[in-house]
């Protein structure tokens, strides 16, 4: 009874708990089909455009490969190679691309660019990362946790570090699925207060506890999942030095993970900086599931494209 055909995917807050669970279930099903070698072509004859204003390894490759595996065709469109990079408006780009394409993914700086593209586009628009949100990553992450733990509701996720796009989408995704989330960030690097309030509002319906605190040990306490991300995201490279100082006490290392449950999962959206936000021992240790996470970008986004565009 869930029909997501024609919808945009800008942030998880636009989707109900049931719709997100539906996408996770579909991702698991599509993954199983793929591993068995079954052909599944809901995007046959369809074309998806992938607009990139920032670098990418996982998002680009998983969307290109995923579209192909679904029977469709993907176009990689670097912002600098299309007229958008020379000042053609987002509105005109959206209108023109809607005449050719069946779906558009965009990775950009300002979140308002994603919103604007979706507004003027008549085909589904997928947010492939903005400064504010990274919902595709969190969809894959929720799928990954679900596969490992068999359930989501009632688990505790600790996010240690920068209150960035990952922190935001994790808070929203956890709130929607009933996962408690404790975010520990240094002063001045907390998540956006509006997003925190929004996540707390959403969590009222699912019973999730959403907290933003200072102490990484308190956040990690009894956690089922420990998650971190780089200290300086794309677009913040010039702040690297200042951030290294601010985040010095926020490394996920052998000492910090002692506070989590013994069977905790370590997660990172990647790319990672070993020795900065996470020690080598933790990211390459037995509790780390970073490559399962990365793989699930493929399956989760295939589910998303099949549901929205297929």
Contact mark string toward ligand CP, 201..240, x via CB under 6 A: ----------------------------------------
166 binding ligand NVA? (CB under 6 A) = yes
Q: Are 210 and 181 in contact (CB under 8 A)?
A: yes
Of the candidates 115, 211, 230, the residue with the CA atom closest to the CA atom of residue 165: 230
Cβ distance to ligand NVA smaller for residue 237 or 263: 237
d(CA 272, CA 284): 11
Ligand-binding site membership of 57 (annotated):
yes
Name the binder of 46 from ligand CP, ligand NVA, none, CB < 5-8 A by kind: none
| Token pair in block for residue 68 | 């192909």
283 binding ligand NVA? (CB under 6 A) = no
Cβ distance to ligand CP smaller for residue 78 or 206: 78
Closest residue to ligand NVA, judged by C-beta, is 233
H or E element that contains 252:
none
Name the binder of 57 from ligand CP, ligand NVA, none, CB < 5-8 A by kind: ligand CP
Ligand-binding site membership of 59 (annotated):
yes
| Preceding omega of 184 cis (within 30 degrees of 0) | no
Of the candidates 179, 180, 172, 181, the residue with the CA atom closest to the CA atom of residue 202: 172
98 binding ligand CP? (CB under 6 A) = no
Q: How far is the CB of 50 from ligand NVA (least distance, A)?
A: 15
Task: Provide the strand spans (E) within the chain.
Answer: 47-52, 73-78, 103-107, 125-127, 156-160, 180-184, 210-213, 225-228, 265-268
Ligand-binding site membership of 141 (annotated):
no
Give the residues across from 184 on adjacent strands. Answer: 160, 213
| Token pair in block for residue 292 | 């399962």
Active-site annotation holder among 21, 69, 137, 301: 137
Give the residues across from 51 on adjacent strands. Answer: 77, 106
Binding site for ligand CP (CB under 6 A): 56-59, 129, 137, 269-270
Binding site for ligand NVA (CB under 6 A): 129, 164-166, 229-230, 233-234, 269
């Amino acid at each position: 009874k869930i029909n997501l055909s024609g919808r945009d995917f800008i942030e998880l807050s636009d989707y109900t708990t049931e719709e997100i669970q539906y996408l996770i279930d579909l991702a698991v099903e599509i993954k199983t089909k793929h591993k068995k070698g079954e052909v599944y072509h809901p995007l046959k004859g369809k074309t998806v455009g992938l607009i990139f204003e920032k670098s990418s390894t996982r998002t680009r490759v998983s969307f290109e490969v995923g579209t192909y595996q679904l029977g469709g065709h993907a176009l990689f469109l670097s912002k600098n190679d299309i007229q958008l990079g020379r000042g053609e408006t987002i509105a005109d780009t959206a209108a023109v691309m809607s005449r050719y394409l069946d779906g558009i993914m965009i990775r950009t700086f300002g979140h308002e660019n994603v919103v604007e593209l979706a507004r003027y586009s008549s085909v589904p628009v997928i947010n492939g990362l903005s400064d504010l949100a990274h919902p595709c990553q969190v969809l894959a992450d929720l799928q990954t946790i679900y596969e490992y733990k068999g359930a989501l509701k009632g688990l505790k996720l600790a996010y240690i570090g920068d209150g960035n796009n990952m922190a935001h989408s994790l808070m929203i995704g956890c709130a929607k699925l009933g996962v408690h989330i404790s975010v520990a960030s240094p002063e001045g690097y907390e998540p956006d207060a509006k997003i925190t309030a929004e996540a707390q509002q959403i969590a009222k319906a699912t019973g999730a506890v959403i907290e933003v605190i200072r102490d990484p040990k308190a956040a990690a306490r009894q956690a089922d999942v420990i998650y971190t991300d780089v200290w300086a995201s794309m677009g913040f490279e010039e702040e690297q030095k200042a951030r290294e100082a601010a985040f010095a006490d926020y490394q996920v290392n052998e000492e910090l993970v002692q506070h989590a449950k013994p069977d905790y999962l370590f997660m990172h959206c990647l790319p990672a900086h070993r020795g900065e936000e996470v020690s080598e021992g933790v990211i390459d240790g037995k509790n780390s599931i970073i490559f399962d996470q990365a793989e699930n970008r493929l399956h989760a986004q295939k589910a998303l494209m099949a549901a929205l565009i297929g």
